[in-house]
Amino acid sequence: MNKKWFAIVPAVALVAAPLPMQHASASDDQMVQATDEQNEYENVLNIAPEHQPTLTQGSTGMYGNEVDFVQFTISQAGFETEVDGVFGPNTEEQVKAFQAEHGLIADGIVGINTWVALFSEYDVEQFPVETAIHYAEEALQNDDLIFSSDGVLREDSEGNHFYSLKAQSQDLIDSGGSGTVGFYNVYKNGDVVEADPQS
C-alpha cells in the first residue's frame, strides 16, 4: 500500500459508493483517563504475552498488578468483576466468559492465548475510535471535514494499531455528492497517514 504522510487535504475525489461508517467525536477527558490507566499497567503492558505468568484462582502474579490488569480489562469488555487484585471464584467465572466470547478454551486459566486476547481488548478500550477521530481533527484542522470509521482497530505489519478513517467535505455533501475527499490511517501514537480505503 502506498502511504504518504499528510501535508494538506488532497484534492477532492468523489467516491460514488459510501462505506458504512460511524461518526463520532472525542473528549479530552477520555484521553486523559486512558493515559492514566496505561501508566498504572505499564509494567504489565511492557511484557509480551508469552512471558506473562499463568494466572489461576488464587494467583497474585509476578509484579503484583497482573490480576488487577485482567480484572480491569475483562470488566471494560463487559464481564464485570471487582478490580481488587484477588483472583477469586468470580474473577475465574468472568475470565471463562471472556475466553468463550473470544473463541478460547473457557477454563478460567489466563495463559498465553488469553493474554493475547486481553492485550487486544485493552488496546481497543484504551484507543477508542473517538480518539482517532480527535487526532485527525487536530492534525487536519479543517472545520468542513467530517470523519467516520467502521470502528475496526487494525494492526499493521509492525504491530502498530490504527483506525481507517474516511474524510468527507460537508460542503460537497450539501451539494449532493458523497463528499469523500480522502482516507487516513490514524495510529495510537497520534500519527495521521494518508491511505487507500480499507477493503
Residue 21 has pLDDT above 60, yes or no: no
Would you say residue 13 lies in a domain? no
Would you say residue 105 lies in a domain? yes
Query: Residue 199: which pLDDT band, with cuts at 50, 70 and 90?
Result: low
pLDDT value, residue 145 = 94
Would you say residue 185 lies in a domain? yes
pTM above the 0.95 mark? no
User: Which of 133, 153, 144, 154 minimizes the C-alpha distance to 181?
Assistant: 144
The domain tally of the chain equals 2
Containing structural domain, residue 183: 129-195
Whether the Cβ atoms of residue 66 and residue 38 lie closer than 8 Å to each other: no
Query: What's phi and psi for 53, nearest 5 deg?
Result: -70, 150
Distance CA 171, CA 164 (A): 22
The domain boundary, picked from 126, 155, 179, lies at 126
Are 149 and 119 in a shared domain? no
Residue 15 has pLDDT above 80, yes or no: no
Would you say residue 23 lies in a domain? no
